[in-house]
A and B are shown apart, each in its own frame.
Chain A
Amino acid sequence: MRRFLPNLLRLATLAVLVVFLFRPELFEPLLKPLVQANAPAIYNQGSLLSLTLSHLATVFAATLAATIVAVGLAILVTRPIGAEFLPLSRSLVNIGQTFPPVAVLALAVPAVGFGEKPTLIALFLYGLLPIFENAMTGLSTLPPAIVEAARGTGMTGWQRLTKVELPLALPVVLAGIRLSVTISLATATIGSTVAAKTLGEVIIAGLQSNNLAFVLQGGLVVAVLAVLIYDAFSALERVLARRAGRG
């Protein structure tokens, strides 16, 4: 019963978001006071729904690629064969995170041109770091007793990895993915300055035409998406952590 209220709140937020995306005109009276007399209160240069979907698709594609590469690299550097790479990997992750997302995005443009590509590359590169860091931590801080036990039962290296180590590290890896997704959702809006189709278009259109309602709706949709996704990941982590006996 204690979880009832927050869950109701989440469902209500999701419902409002869905209604807003499918029938934004219903919210016009709410946003009208924010704009000058005859300016539009609802984004009218494209469909909010399709922008939201392409925003999510961009973030999803970048995060998926980042997850595969980051977890693969983390597995490599935590095996004996890749141990020599571990110290440098740690410092590279530290250095990489000092790169501002805008700079990564701007620097990707000369390499690949305008559009979705620089955004995908920036989100991928920037998303790699938290996932890699967490996967590395998760895989290198497993309880030694359990790893020993797995070895004792005669499991091969591959079996230990897939049956013991990865499941145990999963909650920590997920925390990294959650962090990466939240950063990417916000950073993707900046992608619109290099012509990517994301919700940033709505915000930038608002900034350019001094239309506060545009800025608000673009920003709020991204923020609500981020909060809901963050929440869903946290819940998933709790379930997995309980199952893995780490929580």
Chain B
Amino acid sequence: MTLRIDKLGVVIAALLAYGAFVAPFANFRANRIVPGEARTILEALPSGLGAALLVFVAVSLVVIVLKTPTLLRLVLGLAATLALALLIGLSARYLTPPENTYARVAPASGFWLTSFAFVLLTADALTRLRLSPYARIALLAAVAAAAAGLLLSGAWDGLSILKEYASRADTFWLEASRHVVLALGSLAAAALFGLPIGILCHRVEALRAGVLNVLNIIQTIPSIALFGLLIAPLGWIAVHVPGASAIGIRGIGAAPAFVALFLYSLLPVVANTVVGLAGVPRDANEAARGIGMTDRQRLFGVELPLAFPVILTGIRIVLVQNIGLATIAALIGGGGFGVFVFQGIGQTAMDLVLLGAVPTVALAFAAAVVLDAATELSNSKPGRAA
């Protein structure tokens, strides 16, 4: 058997070697805002475990640099990521002095780099394996379950980000639900209005350029400005339209955030509906007319089903974008994970920033994986011109 070098593996191995042998593994701080002291793997883990981790990394380096079976690389990547996740929790307990509630232990650059290297290895193996959409969703579910297991078991309780969580668990779930409602609600509203507008633009050519241009310009307004600008009209509506304030319309808070996200969402939905409908093969339309379908039947029976994958791509863009933008809602009192991000920035408490940023990124990532899989499935249904 000849040994061959994997070029990508060399890059991953370089990252891994630097992260494990040079960069600090954990960061210890006497309280939540003072600068931290770096701890290497050997200092951050109980004796024996640190050395074992270094040996494990050394063996992994060989497996990664050489051309090894893709499945082996996938298993190594997943196992190592899980092991690192367990070890950082352990390190937090090990480094925190007993009975000390002020000390904070956070993962340092070495932990992030080694994890990143193993995640890259996993991602590369997954790309090469070309998993089916169902397999990808199953894997996502497995990873989510593992993360939930680690959180519930208390393995990470010593970490600073979870100490931030522990002191505001109630608000965390309140803001989480607000975040999800904002992102999903505005998406639902955009789909409800965007689809008919898209169909109209497809049918009436005179409208198309004008509508799309207006929606394009809305996209260029920076999110914090759009959020701010909606405060005035909604405040006016709340005061002057009877019943408006009773259903929650107010100048500041969730209402302007919801409307802003809705406006941003319209462009991808409308544009993709137009593109999707324009891409319906002429033959399909002719055939539908030929068998005597009415316009309405043709729209729901032929055109929309055929355009569905493209429309779904638009929905994916909107959902991922909205999950990210909903963080900005916090600046105008709309709630969401942004509350923690901006509070953390204000207090220079980076663990608090992470408490807001990590769930946002995880949500956006999960939404992208699920909708990508859904798009692929809707494309590959039999009898569909993809």
Contacts and interface: CB of A to CB of B under 8 A. Distances in A.
Interface of A: 34, 81-82, 84-85, 87-88, 90-92, 94-95, 97-103, 106-107, 109-110, 114, 182, 185-187, 189-190, 193-194, 199-200, 203-204, 206-207, 212, 215-216, 218-220, 222-223, 226-227, 230
Given A90-B127, A95-B123, A98-B320, A223 B217 contact: yes
Given A88-B8, A99-B361, A100-B361, A223 B220 contact: yes
A102 B227 CA distance: 15
A222 B344 CA distance: 26
Interface of B: 6-8, 11, 120, 123-124, 126-128, 217, 219-226, 228-229, 231-232, 320, 323-325, 327-328, 331-332, 338, 341-342, 344-345, 348, 350, 353-354, 356-357, 360-361, 364-365, 367-368, 372
B16 to A, nearest CB: 15
B365 A98 contact: yes
Contacts, number: 146
A237 to B, nearest CB: 16
A216 B124 CA distance: 46
Contact of A219 (B228, B320, B356): B228
Contacts of A107: 353-354, 357
A84 B6 contact: yes
A230 B220 CA distance: 9
30 contacts: A87-B124, A87-B127, A88-B120, A88-B123, A88-B124, A92-B120, A98-B320, A98-B364, A98-B367, A99-B364, A100-B323, A102-B328, A103-B324, A103-B341, A107-B353, A110-B350, A114-B348, A186-B221, A186-B223, A189-B224, A203-B225, A207-B332, A212-B231, A215-B229, A218-B222, A219-B221, A219-B224, A222-B225, A223-B221, A226-B220
Contacts of B123: 88, 91-92, 95
A103 B6 contact: no
A203 B220 contact: no
A109 B353 contact: yes
By CB atoms of chain A within 10 A, which of B127, B226, B231, B338 has the most? B127
A3 to B, nearest CB: 15
Contact of B364 (A100, A110, A189, A204): A100
Contacts of A219: 221-222, 224-226, 228-229
B217 A207 contact: no
B345 A109 contact: yes
Given A98-B364, A103-B327, A106-B341, A190 B8 contact: no
A207 B331 contact: yes
B220 A106 contact: no
A81 B110 CA distance: 30
A84 B124 CA distance: 10
A73 to B, nearest CB: 12
Nearest to A113: B348
Contacts of A206: 228
By CB atoms of chain B within 10 A, which of A90, A102, A227, A230 has the most? A102
Contacts of A114: 348
A190 B225 CA distance: 10
Contacts of B354: 107, 110
Contacts of A193: 331, 342, 345
B368 A189 contact: no
A190 B222 CA distance: 9
